[in-house]
Amino acid sequence: MNTLTIWTLDWVPRGPRGFVRDLRLRWACEEAGIPYEVRTVAFEDRATNHLAQQPFGQVPFLQDGDVELFESGAGLLHLARKSERLMPRDPAGEAQALQWTIAALNSIEMVTVPWWFLKISGEPNEKLNGWMTSRLDHIERVLGEQEWLAAGRFTVADLLMADVLRVPDVRAFGKRPATEAYVARVTDRPAFKKAYSEQIAQFEASDRKRSAGA
């Protein structure tokens, strides 16, 4: 009865498919060989229908026995503690994986997400463009010098950083060959491909159910 449960939305429009953040948790479970099931809350009224589980009305959230937690980054760090495949166990390697996980959330995504938000809102902003350039150039330099972010091997930090960097608009923002090769390398992993195709398949199954019900 202690199967780990990843909660996501029961349906989303075509645009975000393949990018809904339950994918991060599916992917981590696939990398680590942790069994899991996926359950859903309704897309309709999502802003208010699951505030008790996720106080910002977002997904995913995770249930692991008595432990419940939201924020995909927190879910990843929780899963990482269960498997050395995601997070090295030596203190120096663990610190490296932790710092790069937080860097993906707070130094890269803190710039890419608002930049993207204004871009798709039709209000691209020069100040945010400059901030994007600076942060992505720093990452490009790092990835030109090393294959993985932490401990000389794939860790949860690469999973998250690649997930942040693989957004098509972010990839298209200037030419950064080391970053591009990194994203290709990480998303070529079988665990990513499985998580990705299963998320797509879930939403396509919802399409069919909706059509049948309509």
Please report, as ranges, the residues that interact with its own copies according to CB under 8 A.
51, 55-58, 65-71, 73-74, 77-78, 91-92, 95-96, 98-99, 101-103, 105-107, 109-111, 113-115, 117-118, 121, 123, 125, 127-128, 131, 135, 138-139, 141-142
User: Is residue 130 exposed (0-12), middle (13-18) or buried (19+ Cβ within 10 Å)?
Assistant: exposed
Alpha helices (H) along 14-125: 22-32, 72-80, 91-103, 109-120
**Cβ of residue 210: shortest distance to its own copies, in angstroms?**
27
- Please report, for residues 37, 125, 146, the alpha-carbon distance to residue 29 in angstroms, rounded to integers and kept in the order given: 10, 37, 25
Provide the token pair at 166. Answer: 């693989």
**Cβ of residue 69: shortest distance to its own copies, in angstroms?**
4
- Please report, for residues 37, 70, 192, 203, the alpha-carbon distance to residue 25 in angstroms, rounded to integers and kept in the order given: 11, 11, 10, 17
CB closer to its own copies out of 13 and 55: 55
Contacts for 106-109: CB closer than 8 Å, 24+ residues apart: 107/135, 108/135, 108/136, 108/139, 108/161, 108/164, 108/165, 109/164
**Cβ of residue 203: shortest distance to its own copies, in angstroms?**
24
**Cβ of residue 5: shortest distance to its own copies, in angstroms?**
14
CB closer to its own copies out of 32 and 203: 32
What is the Cα–Cα distance from 203 to 102, expressed in whole angstroms? Answer: 29
Strand order in the sheet with 4-9: 36-41, 4-9, 61-64, 67-70
Q: Which amino acid is at 138?
A: H
**Cβ of residue 194: shortest distance to its own copies, in angstroms?**
25
**Cβ of residue 98: shortest distance to its own copies, in angstroms?**
5
SS3 44: coil
